Amino acid sequence: MKIEKEVEDAILKCAQCFYCRVCPAFTVIKWESVSPRGKLYALRGIKNGVIKLDQELVEDFFRCTTCGACEEVCQTSLNLVDLWEKVRNDLVKDGKAPLVHHKRIRDLAEKFDNPYGEPREKREEWIRGFKYRDSGDTIYFAGCTASFRAPEIAKSTVNLFNKAGLEVAYLGRYEYCCGSPFLRTGQRDIAYEFFKKNIEEWRKRGVKRIITSCAGCYRTLLLDYPKIAKELGYEWNFEVLHSSQVLNKLIKEGKISPRKLDATVTYHDPCHLGRHAKVYEEPREVIRAMGANLVEMERNRGDSFCCGSGGGVKSQFKDLALSMGKIRINEARETGAEYLISCCPFCKYHMKDAAKAEGIEIKVVDLVEVLDELVE
């Protein structure tokens, strides 16, 4: 594996201070080789020819959820999320990756345009019963997980838009995977193909604004797509919004008015929505508009602990992902909350799994589900 200048610069810049021990993977495994400092030290050894890049070390580079906790505390301001994704892409190009389950989701996506291997027409099942257009300047981008595994989130989102009188189009089978699972696991080539499919469909249908309720899709469309567009020579002039931002604005404008939720709730910041995109306050403002008693977990906003489901970890290292989720669900339990609210279908279902594994009675829900129940 060739160590390129971008990686070499990070190796030299790392102060080896170990503030990055906040890493969720290191918290669980406790091995230095999975910590950000340890991985940079390993890269130094690979560059100098004193460390062999064996399969175990390759896997250590993929035990990271790319949550960004290390970047949040880095004393030398390294762009560590981008760095880990670059290293993973280099490993793929070098033939050391993708790992077996990451290769499997790629194979499914190449055939079905989604990592779940579901028929394209199944994207339209959740929206049956809604009136919608398949073109327009504002679209709802449901994403693969909401479309195929968490349709209640997509339904509640569109239902709220309808209640507010906000007209959005939906592309159905002509919505493609955003590519996030592949960007996170070093498989940039197929992610770029999905970028092309999506942007060409949007141009054809006159799209100017994209709203999504998936934190992973939001991060990809907001932060990755403009970079890919520049790299591939595409014009990028789309506005990207998360549903929490839109719903907060609709509440402030008086277009939807939720009834009071007489309950104690806590909020989990999805890594892609929070640390990556800096959307911290809008979901909390929506919760406050419900009149609920919001009790924060000790680690919140930029310090939030990853649920464990991102970066390809849940697909390849299920036990590790669940161990991270158990830590987070116990932090939620300590608040005494009846509801654990998040803004990401991945976070919702992973923390439901963690709650079940720990025997913790707490309602794990997406923000849009709760709000939809409270709005006439």
Distance between first and last Cα of the chain: 58
Count the domains in the chain: 3
DSSP letter string, 215-267: HHHHHIIIIIHHHHHHHHT-----EEEEHHHHHHHHHHTTS--PPP--SEEEE
Asked if the structure places residue 166 within a domain, the reply is: yes
For the stretch 273-299, pLDDT in tens is 999 999 999 999 999 999 999 999 999
For the stretch 55-71, pLDDT in tens is 999 999 999 999 999 99
Pair (277, 305) in one structural domain: yes
Residues 6+ apart with CB under 8 A from 265: 287, 292, 293, 294, 295, 337, 338, 339, 340, 341
pLDDT at position 1: 84
Asked if the structure places residue 252 within a domain, the reply is: no
Question: Percent of the chain at pLDDT above 70?
Answer: 100
Do the beta carbons of residue 238 and residue 208 sit within 8 Å? yes
For the stretch 96-155, pLDDT in tens is 999 999 999 999 999 999 999 999 999 999 999 998 999 999 999 999 999 999 999 999
Q: What is the mean pLDDT of the chain?
A: 98
For the stretch 80-94, pLDDT in tens is 999 999 999 999 999
Range of the domain at 59: 5-93
> What confidence tier does 2 reach under pLDDT thresholds 50, 70, 90?
confident
The two tokens of residue 345 are: 């279908």
Pair (182, 198) in one structural domain: yes
Pair (143, 128) in one structural domain: yes
Provide φ and ψ at 14, rounded to 5°. -60, 125
Residue that finishes a domain, picked among 93, 108, 127: 93
pLDDT at position 107: 99
* Number of Cβ atoms within 10 Å of the Cβ of 268: 27
pLDDT at position 236: 98
For the stretch 23-62, pLDDT in tens is 999 999 999 999 999 999 999 999 999 999 999 999 999 9
For the stretch 160-201, pLDDT in tens is 999 999 999 999 999 999 999 999 999 999 999 999 999 999
